[in-house]
Amino acid sequence: MTEKLPLYHKLSIITIGLFIFFYILFISKEILVPLAFAWLLAILLNPIVNYLQQKKINKILAIVLAILLMMLVSVAILFFIGSQVAKFTEMIPELKQKINELGQDVLSWFSNTFNIATPKLTSMIEEQKDKGLQGAGGIVGTALGSISGLFVGLFLLPVYIFLFLFYKPLLLEFIEKLFSKDKHKVVSEVLNETKGLIQNYLIGLMIEMCIVATMNSVALMLIGIKYAILLGVIGAILNLIPYIGGMVAIALPMLMGLMTDSPISALYVFLAYALIQFIDNNFLVPKIVASKVKVNALVSIIVVLIGGALWGVAGMFLSIPLIAILKVIFDRIETLEPFGYLIGDDMPEDGSIKKHSKKE
């Protein structure tokens, strides 16, 4: 008879296992992040490849055409954003002047409010500035390393996508061989549900991003904020990061309104973006995005923060589809079904713990 492990022993093993798992994810992010994005994009492009193959186009050529289509769309978006950024750079000298004036106003207000001499405040600021400059070399080195890593990832991404699509039958057969024959039906259902979930989720995100970018840009143009289209598009892209991205998206145009116009413009921006966020969270997301991914808000925020700590901004974006895939798997495994229920957004009618009375 096998001896049953005590609870504290099980918890210790689970804790150590989770620590090792997340540590491996952290140190392997340079490899895993491009692979994760490539996997998601390969699932998204798979219907296009299947359609081209149905038209009697060679498999390799079909995959190449699908990847080229994706790259053309990406280049068009980047070209549009780049043209807007080029116009924005013309305003940098004016922005610097506005920032200096705003800084002087804040310095004067702080000095008058807290009765601290302005020269003393200035010396404190200069001291912090000098400390910041001392670490500038390290920051620049880190930034260059990140940029080089980004270019390597972008170069490898099409290669990874091609290989995922080309070896799809091999990978599916491998997954099937991992399980006994009586489990093949469940495995097939999980794979099909995962594929549909990812495709619908990514398409839903694109539709939501276009709608939010349009609303942002129109609102900023009506308020009179400069570079409304650029800020509107950036806000829509940031909005792809659940919960956290929306807050940053509001801050950027508010700052632009404060520096280039007046405080009332910043207030108008806040009110406009608050309305857009309300429409997005209560109408667009439930109908377009959340209907595909059944993950509750509490779990979403936690996994977004964990994803950000492990893989940065990329981890924040990847966290929601990955946790949704885990939910699909948990729902199909009896022992893990409670965790799938915890991740989901199906609220019970009564939140209290049910009490069962014993019959005497």
- 125 assigned to some structural domain: no
Give the pLDDT band of residue 352 (cuts 50, 70, 90): low
85 within some domain: yes
Q: What is the pTM of this model?
A: 0.72
Does 95 reside within a domain?
Answer: yes
Question: Do residues 231 and 225 lie in contact, with contact meaning Cβ atoms separated by under 8 Å?
Answer: yes
The C-alpha atoms of residue 122 and residue 127 are separated, in whole angstroms, by: 9
Contacts of 201 (CB under 8 A, 6+ apart): 289, 292, 293, 320, 321, 324
Q: What is the pLDDT of residue 68?
A: 94
Query: Over the range 301-330, which residues count as b (16 or more CB within 10 Å of their CB) and which as e?
Result: eebbebbbebbeebbbbbbbbbbbbbbbeb
Is residue 292 scored above 50 in pLDDT? yes
Mean pLDDT, the chain, whole residue set: 77
Q: Is residue 112 scored above 80 in pLDDT?
A: no
pLDDT of residue 62: 94
In a domain, 127, yes or no: no
> Does the residue 33 lie in any domain?
yes
- Residue 356: pLDDT band with limits 50, 70, 90: very low
Q: How far apart are CA 298 and CA 302, in angstroms?
A: 6
Report yes or no on 156 lying in a domain: yes
Contact 356, 340 (CB under 8 A): no
Confidence bin at 359 (pLDDT 50/70/90): very low
Question: What is the total count of domains within the chain?
Answer: 1
Answer with the residue of higher pLDDT: 149 or 91. Answer: 91
The listed range with the strongest mean pLDDT (119-123, 183-187, 343-347) is 183-187
More confident residue, 274 or 146: 274
pLDDT greater than 80 at residue 161: yes
| Structural domain containing residue 54 | 28-117+141-178
**pLDDT tens sequence across 101-111:** 666 666 676 66
Tell whether 322 is covered by a domain: no
Is 51 contained in some domain?
A: yes
